Amino acid sequence: MVEKTPRIVKIFAFFLIIIGFFTLQLIKLQLIDGSDYLEASKNSVITKTRVRASRGEILDRFCRPIVQNSSVMDVEFNRSLIKDMNKTVDAVIEIFEKCGDSYNDSFPISKTEPYIYYEDYLASQSSVSAFSSWLKNKRIAQNMTAEDTLAALVKYYKLADYPLERARNIIAVRYEAEKNGSGYFFTFADNVSLEAVTMVKERSSELPGVTVEMDSERSFVYERFASHIIGYTGRISAEEYEARKDSGYYINDTLGKEGIERIAEEWLRGTDGYKYAQTDKSGNVVDIIKDIEPQSGYDVIITLDTDMQKITEASLEKVIRELKAQNGEEAANSGAAIFMDIHSGEILSMASYPTYNLATYNRDFPTLVNDPSKPYVNRAISGLFPPGSTYKMVTGVAGLEEGVITTKTTYRCTGFYTYYETYQPSCFANTAHGNVNIYTALKRSCNGFFFDVGRILTIDRLSKYGALFGFGQKTGIDLPGESRGTLANKEYLQSMGETWQAADTILTAIGQSYTTATPLQLVNYVATLANGGTRYQPHIIKAVRNKTTGEVISETQKTILQRFELNPSTVKAILEGMRMAAMEQGGSAYAGFENFSVTTLAVKTGTAETTGIPTSLMIGVAPAEDPQIAFAVVIENGGLSASPINAELVKDVLTYYFSHEERFIAANSEGELIS
């Protein structure tokens, strides 16, 4: 009988085989292949690369794109893989110069002799302070001339063997890397041409640590469209970085600087992803260890209607051209036009002239900032103008509400207001209007009638109603740069060290005193009047949406700033006088709307006396009998006869609005986003 092998022996033999196998593998790894693995480990690096998230898009009220993203290529440096920074930078600069490409250069010393500090750098205290700190860290004096500073930096970076102009450019890149880099990484150039990208890739073996990365940049569906509203993005400043670094921002990030891009930054900015990769000594990726996908920002839907905005902008520019042709090149320096939903405060279109091109803003900035017309200023919310005769409705409302007049009260206008012996201001062109009431006084814009109402009211009651309609207060619109304006009253004049006089009261009653307003305040004022005394906060952001899921993240609700119940008879009387001004012969705006049949209007024109050519204004609502939309047009130095030309803009926009009214109403009533 054969004796069986004990189980314990078998198990022991199995373990001997396993141990032998691992011993052989260890010998192979350490003695046979050890030198190869050692070399590989020396030549590989585990890197963490940030994958930038694309910004959300900006869409109009019907979800049509206005601002999108386009793919671009950036050249990035990883300093941990670069042995000779000067040599590498110089080689890449040479490539860019051959291709005619630009690269990031915020160094404050000029590129060629004579070497001087740039003027815009010297004008910025924060820039001077930041550069001084940078020099101090290198133990370089901060009070030298630009030429001496450059010489000190040439010595610091050991660039004596390079021509001075070339050394300056290398220093500029190193400055950029140290000030705007993130760890070992920094962006040498954004939106690089295909030619330059190809040359960088062809020389990758000579340029370890220099890579081409895909990125995205803002692209605009329309040129020069809603520029003051959309705003622009730009590289984060040192001050902005300090304020935002704890929120995940990097020193080389881009963020919104103006307009919607700035106000909606927290929504538009996405969440960056990260790529953990193994690279060889040349910086080439050998293996992806971990990949965290970026999450793009949310889409911001604004209240503008694209087509209506285009019509408003084109018509405003046309008005400016025609008024210049009529009154000379010194006339019609700037202007603004706004159309707003009176029941919600939604801005349907808003134009400011002159304007600029967002796509070329950074390149055009030196020209824009020195342009005396200040095209980058949004006059619709920042420009301050005397309201002129458009303020007469405040006086009329105050008179009716306070009971100092009724709809039957008459005043005999002789062309001059003769209540005061020593001060007798006139109606326009000394026109005698005869017997007028609230209706005909608004229709013909009679100064005398409103002088008298203002005198009886006194400035205290008059300014009370001015404040109710929002004069002297910001509207709170969701855009940066809004001006407050001023409301004429005793307190305002006392703050200036002057005493209120009786003449100040009657001039305030016709909008010619110390009151100033933005076009936005004017449109909100007339909307508040038309809806019976509810002053809404105007807004430009309608909703925020997750592009991937379609989920609405945030939706702007109507916000009431002030509610004061106006007597319906007061509203009816004022609107009727305004309707007569636009729709009846002899009305101050009739020449502009005589043959307009699309809708009825309630309009008030104004001519604000300033130094030089007067500013022309037109505000109103439509339809006159059931107002839905309010508008304001202001042309700085428009002249005395601008009203019929301003009316052409109003007609252009209202023709579009009422031909698409059902779509606007449907969107508002359903409370849904129409895509």
Query: What's the per-residue H, E or C state across 383-447?
Result: CCECCHHHHHHHHHHHHHHCCCCCCCCCEEECCECCCCCCCCCECHHHCCCEEECHHHHHHHCCH
- Give the three-state DSSP class for 450: helix
Q: What is the pLDDT of residue 433?
A: 96
Domain boundary among 284, 302, 320: 302
Confidence of residue 205 (pLDDT cuts 50, 70, 90): confident
Interval 371-408: pLDDT, tens:
889 999 999 999 999 999 999 999 999 999 999 999 99
Q: Are 216 and 70 in the same domain? A: yes
Entry pTM: 0.82
Q: Are 265 and 326 in the same domain? A: no
Interval 499-552: pLDDT, tens:
999 999 999 999 999 999 999 999 999 999 999 999 999 999 999 999 889 999
Q: Are 529 and 570 in the same domain? A: yes
Q: Are 220 and 315 in the same domain? A: no
Lowest mean pLDDT among 303-307, 329-333, 433-437: 329-333
What's the rounded Cα separation, in Å, for the pair 23 and 11? 18
Q: Are 329 and 181 in the same domain? A: no
Considering just the CA atoms, what is the radius of gyration of the chain in Å? 34
8 A C-beta contact, residue 178 and residue 134? yes
In what side-by-side order are the strands of the sheet with 334-341? 347-353, 334-341, 629-636, 615-622, 602-608
In a domain, 314, yes or no: yes
8 A C-beta contact, residue 357 and residue 673? no
Confidence of residue 217 (pLDDT cuts 50, 70, 90): confident
- CATH of residue 148's domain is 3.90.1310.10
8 A C-beta contact, residue 278 and residue 289? yes
Domain boundary among 302, 321, 339: 302
In the predicted structure, residue 1 carries a pLDDT above the cut 50 = no
In the predicted structure, residue 157 carries a pLDDT above the cut 80 = yes
Interval 129-153: pLDDT, tens:
889 999 999 999 988 999 999 999 9
In the predicted structure, residue 92 carries a pLDDT above the cut 70 = yes
Confidence of residue 288 (pLDDT cuts 50, 70, 90): low
Q: Are 58 and 123 in the same domain? A: yes
pLDDT, mean over the chain: 90
Q: Are 314 and 288 in the same domain? A: no
Q: Which residues contact 354 (CB under 8 A, 6 or more apart)?
A: 334, 371, 373, 375
In a domain, 5, yes or no: no
DSSP state of 198: H
In the predicted structure, residue 334 carries a pLDDT above the cut 50 = yes
DSSP state of 484: -
Q: Are 343 and 291 in the same domain? A: no
8 A C-beta contact, residue 294 and residue 52? yes
Pairing mode, strands 254-256 and 534-536: unpaired
Phi, psi of 599 (to 5 degrees): -160, 170
Pairing mode, strands 58-59 and 299-302: parallel
Other Cβ atoms within 10 Å of 328 Cβ, number: 12
In a domain, 649, yes or no: yes
Q: Are 519 and 654 in the same domain? A: yes
Lowest mean pLDDT among 41-50, 302-311, 606-615, 638-647: 41-50
Containing structural domain, residue 199: 46-302
Q: Are 295 and 406 in the same domain? A: no
pLDDT (average), residues 6-22? 71
Q: Which residues contact 307 (CB under 8 A, 6 or more apart)?
A: 656, 660
User: Which DSSP string do the residues of 214-257 spell out, in sequence order?
Assistant: EEEEEEESSTTSSHHHH--EEEPPHHHHHHHGGGT--TT-EEE-
In the predicted structure, residue 280 carries a pLDDT above the cut 80 = no
Among 36-50, 79-93, 305-319, the range of highest mean pLDDT: 305-319
- CATH of residue 336's domain is 3.40.710.10
Q: Number of helices and strands (H, E) in the chain? A: 25, 21
Q: Are 510 and 417 in the same domain? A: yes
Name the burial class of residue 581, with classes exposed (0-12), middle (13-18) and buried (19+) by CB atoms within 10 angstroms of its CB.
buried
In a domain, 369, yes or no: no
pLDDT (average), residues 419-448? 95
Alpha-carbon dihedral sign for residues 66, 67, 68, 71: positive
Interval 97-116: pLDDT, tens:
999 998 988 899 999 999 99
In the predicted structure, residue 25 carries a pLDDT above the cut 70 = no
In the predicted structure, residue 296 carries a pLDDT above the cut 50 = yes
Confidence of residue 71 (pLDDT cuts 50, 70, 90): confident
The two structure tokens encoding residue 573 = 């009387």
Interval 192-204: pLDDT, tens:
999 999 999 999 8
Q: Which residue has the tokens 């019907």?
A: 62
Q: Which residues contact 223 (CB under 8 A, 6 or more apart)?
A: 357, 359
In a domain, 27, yes or no: no
In a domain, 633, yes or no: yes
In a domain, 388, yes or no: yes
Domain boundary among 302, 318, 347: 302
In the predicted structure, residue 34 carries a pLDDT above the cut 80 = no
In a domain, 451, yes or no: yes
Domain count, the chain: 2
Angle at 387 between CA 382 and CA 391, to 5 degrees: 135
Q: Are 520 and 659 in the same domain? A: yes
Closest CA to 178 of 121, 134, 119, 222: 134
- Give the three-state DSSP class for 534: strand
Pairing mode, strands 347-353 and 254-256: unpaired
